[in-house]
Amino acid sequence: MRIAIAGKGGTGKTTIAGTLARVLAQSGRRVLAIDADTTPNLAVTLGVPAAAAQEMMSLPRNMMERQTQEDGTTKTVFVADSEKVIADYSAAGPDGIRLLVMGKVDHGGAG
């Protein structure tokens, strides 16, 4: 399954996302968890060791593109090969989970 979880800020949403990822991984699934919150803290709920979370590299700018929409607003679009991104930029969590943090992407001056 490929699901996104959203809702009002607070710990509930991240607790559900992190625990859901763990439950799926423990049932034998390969799981990629993606933290797309601007205040990323999914690592904690997943149980990714603090050191591994700290060492995570910011996603390179050329992987994300700021594109201008017809209505004049800009959106960030994923353009890189996902397998390579996972291999290069994800952190290892419990039960074989891989974690990517999108919130670390620096939008300053992009586009």
Name the residues that contact other proteins, by CB under 8 A.
1-24, 26-27, 29-39, 42, 44-47, 67, 75-78, 81-83, 94
* Cβ-contact 102, 34 below 8 angstroms: yes
DSSP state of 99: E
User: Nearer to other proteins by C-beta: 15 or 52?
Assistant: 15
User: Nearer to other proteins by C-beta: 23 or 92?
Assistant: 23
* Cβ-contact 96, 28 below 8 angstroms: no
Closest distance of CB 63 from other proteins, Å: 12
Task: Tell me which residue of 101, 98, 7, 13 sits closest to 59, measured CA to CA.
Answer: 101
- Give the span between the Cα atoms of 40 and 12, in whole angstroms: 14
Task: Tell me which residue of 31, 8, 36 sits closest to 19, measured CA to CA.
Answer: 31
Closest distance of CB 55 from other proteins, Å: 19
User: Nearer to other proteins by C-beta: 11 or 57?
Assistant: 11
Q: Is the C-alpha dihedral spanning 10, 34, 65, 108 positive or negative?
A: positive
Closest distance of CB 39 from other proteins, Å: 8
User: Nearer to other proteins by C-beta: 49 or 57?
Assistant: 49
Closest distance of CB 67 from other proteins, Å: 7
